[in-house]
Amino acid sequence: MAGSLLRTLPRRWLMRFSLLCLALAGLGLVFNYTYLSIRHDMQLITAKQPNLFELFYQRARILAPEKLASFIDNSSIKTPIFSENGDATAYAYGYDLATLARLAVIPILPPANQMLSTYQYLLSYPEVLNLYAFYNDRRILGMVGDKRMLPGELQPVNTDLNDIEPWTHYFGCAAFAATHVPCSTDEAQVSDIYTDTFTGLKTITLYFPFVFYDPALADYRYGLTGIDIAIDEAFKDVLRPFESLNPTRTVLSFEEVEPCRPWHLCLNTRFMRTKAGNDLFLKWSYSYGDVVRAVLYGPAFKLYLIVLLLLMLTGRGIYGRLRTLALTDHLTRLPRRDILEQALLKEYDFLMLLDIDNFKSINDTHGHGVGDLALVAFARHLTTNMRKGDKAIRWGGEEFIILYKGLNDRASMRQAVARLLASQLQIPELPAPITFSAGVIRIRDYLTVAEATDLADALLYHVKQHGKHNIAYYQGQEIRLIRDTGTNPVT
Q: What is the DSSP letter of 198?
A: T
Nearest to 138 by CA among 152, 159, 124, 116: 159
Q: How far apart are CA 401 and CA 386, in angstroms?
A: 12
Nearest to 387 by CA among 412, 356, 354: 412
Longest dimension (CA), the chain: 115
Per-residue pLDDT of the chain (491 residues; tens, 9 = 90+): 444 444 444 545 766 777 788 788 888 898 898 889 989 988 888 888 888 888 888 888 888 899 999 888 888 888 765 545 566 788 999 999 888 889 999 888 776 567 788 888 888 888 999 999 999 999 999 999 888 888 888 876 566 888 888 999 999 999 998 899 999 888 888 988 888 877 788 999 999 999 999 888 888 999 999 999 999 999 998 888 888 888 999 988 888 877 888 888 899 998 888 887 888 999 999 998 998 888 888 888 888 888 877 777 665 555 456 666 778 888 999 999 888 999 999 999 999 999 999 999 999 999 999 999 999 999 999 999 999 999 999 998 899 999 999 998 999 999 999 999 988 899 999 999 999 999 999 999 999 999 999 999 999 999 999 989 999 999 988 999 998 765 545 44
Nearest to 273 by CA among 29, 49, 23: 49
**CATH 3.30.450-classified regions of the chain:** 56-234
Task: Identify the pLDDT of residue 363.
Answer: 92
Q: How far apart are CA 255 and CA 183, in angstroms?
A: 26
Nearest to 53 by CA among 179, 181, 187: 187
Domain boundaries 56-234, corresponding CATH code:
3.30.450
Task: Identify the pLDDT of residue 9.
Answer: 46
Helix and strand totals (H; E) in the chain: 17, 17
**CATH 3.30.70.270-classified regions of the chain:** 330-481
Report the SS3 class of residue 348. Answer: coil
Q: How far is CA 188 from CA 164, 196, 322, 440, in A?
A: 14, 20, 56, 41
| Superfamily of domain covering 330-481 | Reverse transcriptase/Diguanylate cyclase domain (3.30.70.270)
Q: How far is CA 143 from CA 47, 72, 147, 149, 158, in A?
A: 32, 10, 9, 10, 20
Task: Kindly write down the DSSP assignment for every residue of 284-295, as one continuous string.
Answer: EEEEHHHHHHHH
